[in-house]
Copies of this chain bind each other. A is one copy, B any other.
Amino acid sequence: MIERLIKGYDLDKLAVATIASHTALHILRGAKLYGFRTIAVARPNTAWFYRQFQFIDEVWEADFSNFRPVAERLSRQNAVLVPHGSYVEYVGWRQALEAPVPTLGVRRLIEIEADQFKKMGLLERAGIPTPRVYNSADEVTGPVIVKLFGAKGGRGYFFARDKRELAERLANLAEPHIIQEYVFGVPAYYHYFASPMYSRVEIFGMDIRYETNVDGRTFGLVEPSFVVVGNLPLVLRESLLPTVQRYGEAFAKAVRETLGEDMKGPYSLESIIKDDMSIVVFEFSGRIVAGTNVYMGVGSPYSVLYFDKPMDMGTRIAHELDEARKRGALERIVS
Residues on A facing B (Cβ under 8 Å)? 21-26, 29, 45-46, 48-49, 52-53, 55, 86, 143, 153, 155, 159, 161, 184-188, 200, 206, 208, 210-219, 221-222, 224-225, 227-242, 245, 272-277, 290, 293-306, 310
Contact = CB atoms under 8 A, between A and B. Distances in A.
Contact of A234 (B210, B227, B277, B306): B210
Number of copies: 3
Contacts of A231: 234-235
A301 to B, nearest CB: 4
Given A45-B242, A184-B216, A214-B217, 19 more contacts: A22-B239, A29-B305, A53-B305, A86-B239, A153-B237, A186-B213, A187-B217, A188-B230, A206-B230, A210-B234, A212-B273, A225-B275, A231-B235, A233-B294, A238-B293, A296-B304, A297-B301, A297-B303, A298-B301
A186 B213 CA distance: 6
Contact of A217 (B52, B224, B300): B224
A293 B213 contact: no
Given A185-B213, A186-B216, A238-B22, A297 B299 contact: yes
